[in-house]
Amino acid sequence: MTYLPVGVAFAVVVAIGLIVGSFLNVCIYRIPRKQSIVWPASRCAACERPLAWFENLPILSYAALRGRCRTCGTGISIRYPIVELVTGAAFAFDFLAFGPTPLFLVRALFACAMIVLFAIDLEHQLLPNVITLPGIAFGFLASLLLPPGPVMSLAGIAAGGGLLWLIIEVWLRLRGVEAMGFGDVKMLAMIGAFLGLKLTILTFILSSLMGGVIGVILIATRRGGMGTALPYGTMLAMAAFIASVAGERLIDWYVHLYL
Ligand SMILES: [Zn+2]
């Protein structure tokens, strides 16, 4: 194969990622507000004027409008272009890892779910059931045909959900507070369904490390104490994406350090 078709395929994948990212912005805004994600068409969040097609282009519209609504002049959140760029990048990493395969489609869909959960948890401290519960079912169904296979998928659901449930119970007995919400339990069960047992354990370890590092940075820069760290779902989302595209290589690398 020559380089040109690979380059073209890559560009198409990134472009699709940017467009999908634009739809993820709709999900991020509407799901916590219990609005339909398919109707009505996109509109300005401030003046509610429906957007023209040229105001709906990923990245380009935000740049052309300089981040303001054409009618009411209200600032458009920087979250919109960021989510579009992150989705384009996530599709690129998934395509690098899996190439043009069915597993690429499943993992790209998984990345979309992680991006939406990250953004909603960051803003609302909420991990909606309408994403996590169907996510558990879909991850398991996909595993009937694709990695990690149905046995490892079920083990991932049990370990991911069970581990966080146990932490909540133990913390509640010892300290009398909830260490995290049950949204986190369902989210790690969903991650288990898609990625299987091994990568779910890796996700848990990576998310704990991130939580520690980010907590230390926040305290060191005096931006807040222990209580103001990022919600745990945002850490799970980042860790699960890393595990989904590079988990096997990370585990190999780590094992070789000690063998
Ligand atoms: Zn407006």
Percent of the chain with pLDDT over 90: 80
Other CB atoms within 10 Å distance of the CB of residue 34: 8
- Helix (H/G/I), strand (E/B), else coil: 46: coil
Compute, in angstroms, the gap from residue 59 CA to the centroid of ligand 1: 18
**68 DSSP β-pair partners:** 75
Compute, in angstroms, the gap from residue 80 CA to the centroid of ligand 1: 15
Compute, in angstroms, the gap from residue 82 CA to the centroid of ligand 1: 20
Compute, in angstroms, the gap from residue 74 CA to the centroid of ligand 1: 6
Compute, in angstroms, the gap from residue 75 CA to the centroid of ligand 1: 8
User: Does the pLDDT value for residue 1 go beyond 80?
Assistant: no
Instruction: Evaluate if pTM is beyond 0.75.
Output: yes
pLDDT value at residue 72: 94
Compute, in angstroms, the gap from residue 70 CA to the centroid of ligand 1: 7
Q: Long-range CB contacts (< 8 A, 24+ apart) of 40-48?
A: 44/69, 44/71, 44/72, 44/74, 45/74, 46/72, 46/74, 47/71, 47/72, 47/74
User: Does the pLDDT value for residue 4 go beyond 70?
Assistant: no
- φ/ψ region of 196 (left if φ > 0, alpha if ψ in -120 to 50, else beta) reads left
Compute, in angstroms, the gap from residue 127 CA to the centroid of ligand 1: 28
Compute, in angstroms, the gap from residue 87 CA to the centroid of ligand 1: 25
Compute, in angstroms, the gap from residue 21 CA to the centroid of ligand 1: 21
Higher pLDDT: 180 or 247? It is 247
Compute, in angstroms, the gap from residue 63 CA to the centroid of ligand 1: 16
Q: Between the CA of residue 37 and those of 18, 34, 125, 130, 225, what are the distances in Å?
A: 18, 9, 20, 12, 36
Q: 132 and 172 in contact (C-beta within 8 Å)?
A: no
**75 DSSP β-pair partners:** 68
In angstroms, the CA 86 to CA 115 distance is 8
In angstroms, the CA 39 to CA 29 distance is 13
Compute, in angstroms, the gap from residue 131 CA to the centroid of ligand 1: 29
Compute, in angstroms, the gap from residue 34 CA to the centroid of ligand 1: 21
Summarize pLDDT for 14-23 with one digit per residue, the tens.
999 999 999 9
Phi, psi values for residue 48, rounded to 5°: 65, 20
Compute, in angstroms, the gap from residue 50 CA to the centroid of ligand 1: 9
- Helix (H/G/I), strand (E/B), else coil: 259: coil
In angstroms, the CA 193 to CA 166 distance is 18
